[in-house]
Amino acid sequence: MSALPIRVRLTLAFAVVMAVVLALIGAFLYHRVGATLIAGVDSGLRGQVSESLPRLGRDNDLVDPDARAGSTVAEIVKAGGVVQSTPPGLAPILDAAALRRVLSGHEQLSTMSIPGLRHKWRVLAVRVPGRPRAFVVARSLESREETLHRILREFLLVGPLGLLLASLAGYVLAASALRPVEAMRRRAGAVSAQTPGKRLPVPPANDEISRLAETLNTMLDRLEDAFAHERRFLADASHELRTPLTLLRTELELALRRPRTRAELEEALRSAAEDTQRLNSLAEDLLMLAGADHDGLPIRREAIAVEELLETSRARLALWADDRGRALEVEPTTAGVWADRNRLEQALANLIENALRYGAGTVRLSARACGAFVELHVEDEGRGFPPEFSGRAFDRFSRADDARSGGGSGLGLSIVDLIATAHGGSAGLANRPAGGADVWIAIPAVPAPHEAPERAPGTATTRAPAPTRKP
């Protein structure tokens, strides 16, 4: 069955249901007509009894001529045998046991065969009032049987024909209903990455199939956006990898082109080491983003004192800030967060590096409570961000402008946003009113003891969404 087309399976199911329904209707009509005919016969027998009992003994005929023409027989019976019968010579209809029940005052109404007569007969037997005799009247059921046989023959002839016509109509309806699906299938077979913008046809009817087509078209939109994003990602990644590889190759070729002094070789190796470190950092970032896209970013939460976290981050980048003549300051705070320390230090390091690389003046690290979250802010005193950059700041390989891209891969803020999202928080940025950039990451605060979430090691705890603010 599973190998058959859907329209054929639907038609077969419809045919089976229709066959059962027709059979039930036929059986109901057959038994209903039979019961109605029996009721008519019984009514006629009772009428005959009512008419014949008053004139018993005064008339040789127990039934009137019209009844005899209708295949009706009658007899008066006593314990010793038949007293009188119409037609004459009729054998006893009742057996001894039935006769005793009737003589005791019980009416007998049944269907039976009568010796010497054909077909089935409907028999009514009652006691003759005041006498130990039974009056028995019977009517042939031949006409009833003929009527039922005719109904059965006609139903066996018309039923299959009606079933065939209904099945054909069901097949046509199924084919018509599935025609849009076939059109969608053909169009879907032509959709590929080389045919962007091609969508499935949506039937005009507002039914399940049209909603399915709309859902699939929406899915194709998402897939097309994802493919475009991946293509941009691969192109940007290739570009970012090509630049340090080209520089590294150039520096090594220049170092080998002619004899070099020890100092020149050391300088070439130092420059090559810097490019190698850049390649290593870029590869690690790309692997981290790819792994997070596939399996999510693993998080191991613990209660962390924010001021200690900020001081640790400041100390790690203090030498780099000194080399650039920049100051790193930490504002005191008593806040605590429920987070993965290593991931949070990585996010803060990216924010501080961006501020040192692209900003100016003092870089301040601070924390602000915001409902169930704590915002960790990194502020500088530079030019800030262009207004059009805010909407794409956390996209991969996104940079504010070419002037701010020196040495950066454009992955720092996207990693910050990834870490914030993995914690159930968010990341944001804005330009400070006094000048400079303010970038923050919102992380869940340390919950009260009775609110501490149950968690498995290495998993993130789901919390309410972090507050978002327009830059």
| Contact between 11 and 169 (Cβ < 8 Å) | no
| Contact between 268 and 276 (Cβ < 8 Å) | no
In terms of DSSP bridges, do strands 134-140 and 328-330 run parallel, antiparallel, or are they unpaired? unpaired
* Closest to 444 (Cα-Cα) out of 460, 455, 456, 428: 460
Q: What's the confidence (pLDDT) of residue 68? A: 53
CA dist., res. 246 & res. 248, Å (int): 5
236: alpha, beta or left? (left if phi > 0; alpha if psi -120 to 50): alpha
Q: Which of 278, 294, 310 is the last residue of a domain?
A: 294
The number of C-alpha atoms within 13 Å of 403 and in the hemisphere containing its C-beta is 6
CA dist., res. 396 & res. 410, Å (int): 6
- Please give the residue that has the higher pLDDT: either 103 or 395: 103
CA dist., res. 188 & res. 73, Å (int): 80
Do 141 and 42 share a structural domain?
yes
Q: What's the confidence (pLDDT) of residue 446? A: 86
Residues 276-288: pLDDT tens digits?
A: 776 776 677 666 6
In terms of DSSP bridges, do strands 363-370 and 328-330 run parallel, antiparallel, or are they unpaired? parallel
Structural domains in the chain (count): 3
Do 310 and 279 share a structural domain?
no
Do 274 and 241 share a structural domain?
yes
Q: What's the confidence (pLDDT) of residue 456? A: 33
Q: Indicate if the pLDDT at residue 148 is higher than 80.
A: yes
Q: Which of 118, 145, 172 is the last residue of a domain?
A: 145
**For residue 457, what pLDDT band results from cuts at 50, 70 and 90?**
very low
Which residue is associated with the tokens 């930490």? 330
CATH at residue 19: 3.30.450
Q: Indicate if the pLDDT at residue 403 is higher than 60.
A: no
Sign (positive or negative) of CA dihedral 282, 288, 292, 295? positive
Q: What's the confidence (pLDDT) of residue 453? A: 46
**For residue 441, what pLDDT band results from cuts at 50, 70 and 90?**
very high
| Contact between 139 and 70 (Cβ < 8 Å) | yes
Could you tell me if residue 14 is inside a domain?
yes
Q: Is the pTM of this model over 0.85?
A: no
Could you tell me if residue 171 is inside a domain?
no
Could you tell me if residue 170 is inside a domain?
no
Do 379 and 417 share a structural domain?
yes
Do 436 and 302 share a structural domain?
yes
Do 322 and 248 share a structural domain?
no
Do 404 and 367 share a structural domain?
yes
Do 42 and 65 share a structural domain?
yes
The residue segments making up the domain with residue 257 are: 208-294
- 32 burial (CB, 10 Å; 0-12 / 13-18 / 19+) is exposed
Residues 339-392: pLDDT tens digits?
A: 989 889 888 988 998 888 888 899 999 999 988 999 999 999 888 887 766 656
Q: Indicate if the pLDDT at residue 150 is higher than 90.
A: yes
**For residue 71, what pLDDT band results from cuts at 50, 70 and 90?**
confident
CA dihedral 18, 22, 25, 26 (to 10 degrees): -170
Could you tell me if residue 463 is inside a domain?
no
Do 357 and 394 share a structural domain?
yes
Could you tell me if residue 95 is inside a domain?
yes
Residues 302-345: pLDDT tens digits?
A: 999 999 999 999 998 888 888 889 999 999 999 999 998 988 98
Do 429 and 308 share a structural domain?
yes
Q: What's the confidence (pLDDT) of residue 468? A: 47
- DSSP conformation letters of 324-367: TT--EEE-----EEEE-HHHHHHHHHHHHHHHHHH--S-EEEEE
Do 420 and 357 share a structural domain?
yes
| Contact between 373 and 442 (Cβ < 8 Å) | yes
Could you tell me if residue 320 is inside a domain?
yes
CATH at residue 245: 1.10.287.130
- Please give the residue that has the higher pLDDT: either 174 or 123: 123
Most confident among 22-36, 83-97, 191-205 (mean pLDDT): 22-36
3-state secondary structure of 470: coil
Q: Which of 145, 160, 179 is the last residue of a domain?
A: 145
| Contact between 124 and 137 (Cβ < 8 Å) | yes
- Which range is least confidently modeled, 45-59, 98-112, 320-334? 45-59
- Please give the residue that has the higher pLDDT: either 176 or 1: 176
Could you tell me if residue 409 is inside a domain?
yes
Burial letters for 119-140: b for 16+ Cβ neighbours within 10 Å, e otherwise?
ebbbbbbbbbeeeebbbbbbbb
Q: Indicate if the pLDDT at residue 81 is higher than 50.
A: yes
Do 234 and 317 share a structural domain?
no
CATH at residue 326: 3.30.565.10
**For residue 296, what pLDDT band results from cuts at 50, 70 and 90?**
low
Q: Indicate if the pLDDT at residue 34 is higher than 90.
A: yes
Most confident among 3-12, 33-42, 165-174, 266-275 (mean pLDDT): 33-42
Could you tell me if residue 156 is inside a domain?
no
